[in-house]
Structure 1
């Protein structure tokens, strides 16, 4: 569906050239939700703007639905762009227009008949859950409702690709989850290919099939989300995964516990897939005779399975502790004995 081949974007400045996107090769399958994650300055916003030619590449190919976007001009480019819509962090709504009028705007440009336009707007209002708010103005809407308007407007012309530029960054966590659920529902109902950029691993974890990690204009790691959670290779990826698996308040509590002089080992246990649903701790206690002090635990759901992390303090004699660590290894769960510098 989308193929990037040796794609680069260089911005010339008075202080020298800045390479925002650096020789990227990437394939995104039709109908998947693909995430691109990176910190500010990584190049992810430039990358997504290259996909619909809001930025022109310095070199390389952008192939979408078998067309090289970089070769298109004029009416051919405008026609290809109609199949690629975008939603933004700050909504970009027309503040003097109602919900209905905002959603209708691209249909007016496409010169749809009044009957067809009204029917399509009604359909989209229902799809994004804004029934009853048709005549409200943006200033009268919550942040989540504004983004729903933005999504409906982006879907007006039946695009094949939806680009999401930090679409949930301005929203609170609960509203973020509701928008992510809406995007997932749209992906299933319409078979839409969604490319989503973010700096939040929670967003990637919740709805993406695959993820690419960007740093300094390059993709440093890419793969299925569950695989990336299980075995992140690059330091940048490990930082993002820790947003979910090692919340700072948990790590601070562990560091404080270690300062007390208690030498009982603290172990981080990572579960994957069906193992995340199994009573491994109960079996550990019964089999090895150790006492287990659970410090923190969480099972995270991804699109393709569960990934769980559990921080526990094991208490017992040395033989029991060795038996416990050996038992966990035999269960094919990842274990890491925490140290004071963690």
Structure 2
């Protein structure tokens, strides 16, 4: 659907040259929600503006649904942009226009006849949950409602791709969740490809299928969200994962718990996807002559499945302990046995 090769953007000032985006190579599949995460200054907002050429690439190629975006002239680009919707952090609504008129604006620019335009606007108002607010002005709307207008406006021309630049960072947590749910519903209902820029890992966890991590203008890590959560390789990725998983806090608690229980074996289990539904602990308790104490646990959901950790103390005779641990290792659950204190 979207192929990005060798994408680069530099800004030249009087004193130096700044490389904002540096040799990015990505493939984004049709109908997926692809997240790009990075701290401020990582280059992610420049990157997303390169996709619809709000910024002109210094080098590289962007192909969307077979069309080479970087080769288009201005007239061709204007037509192509109708197939690329974009929503912004601060909504970018026209304050002198009502909800209906803000959503209608891209259709007016595209020359859509009035009757057809009104029908499309009504469809979009229902889609984003704004029925009854058609004649309200932006000053009369909550932050979440304003973003819903922004989403409806971005969908007006039936785009193939929706770009979201920090679309929830100006919203409170509850409103953020409602907007993310709306984006998931739109993705499923319309089969829309969504590229989402954020600095919040919980947004990636809740909505994205795959993720790319940016640092200093480069993509330093990418993959399925669940894989990145389970096996972050770069230090910046590990910091983002800690935002959601609380790894530092859990590791400290794990160290305390495992040194407090000095008999038997202390084990941390990692459940992935379908394995989170396994009744593993009850099976072990029934099949082996051991006692099991659950010390700590957490399950986190992603679009590709659940990821859970469980810390247990298993006590019993050495032979039985060894048999129970070997049984657990024979399943698809990952096992981490703490050394004896």
TM-score (norm 1): 0.89
198-207 or 156-165, which moves further after superposition? 198-207
- Aligned counterpart, 1:314: 313
- Cα 1:125–1:288 change in 2 (3 A) is farther
State the SS of the aligned residue for 2:271: strand
Unmatched 5+ residue regions in structure 2? Answer: none
- Aligned counterpart, 2:170: 170
Deviation at 1:253, TM superposition (A): 4.3
Distance between the aligned counterparts of 1:165 and 1:156, measured in 2? 18
Q: Deviations over 1:7-66 (max 9, x none)?
A: 111122344222111111111112211111122222111110100101111111111122
Q: Deviations over 1:145-176 (max 9, x none)?
A: 11111000001111111000111112222222
- Aligned counterpart, 1:271: 271
Distance between the aligned counterparts of 1:251 and 1:186, measured in 2? 38
- Aligned counterpart, 2:6: 6
Distance between the aligned counterparts of 1:202 and 1:119, measured in 2? 36
1:68 matched to 2:68:
yes
Contact 1:284 1:290 in 2 (8 A): no
Q: Deviations over 1:243-295 (max 9, x none)?
A: 3333555455446657x855466543211121111112223334351331332
Cα RMSD over matched residues?
Answer: 2.4
Superposition pairs for residues 1-342 of structure 1, below 5 Å? 1-246=1-246, 249-251=249-251, 253-254=253-254, 263=262, 267-286=267-286, 287=288, 289-298=290-299, 300-310=300-310, 312-314=311-313, 316=315, 319=318, 322-337=322-337
Unmatched 5+ residue regions in structure 1? Answer: none
Contact 2:162 2:192 in 1 (8 A): yes
- Cα 1:199–1:314 change in 2 (3 A) is same
Q: Deviations over 1:164-214 (max 9, x none)?
A: 011111222222221111111111221211111112222222222221111
State the SS of the aligned residue for 2:295: strand
Question: What is the aligned length?
Answer: 336
TM-score (norm 2): 0.89
119-128 or 277-286, which moves further after superposition? 277-286
- Cα 1:232–1:66 change in 2 (3 A) is same
State the SS of the aligned residue for 2:168: coil
- Cα 1:132–1:216 change in 2 (3 A) is same
Deviation at 1:2, TM superposition (A): 1.0
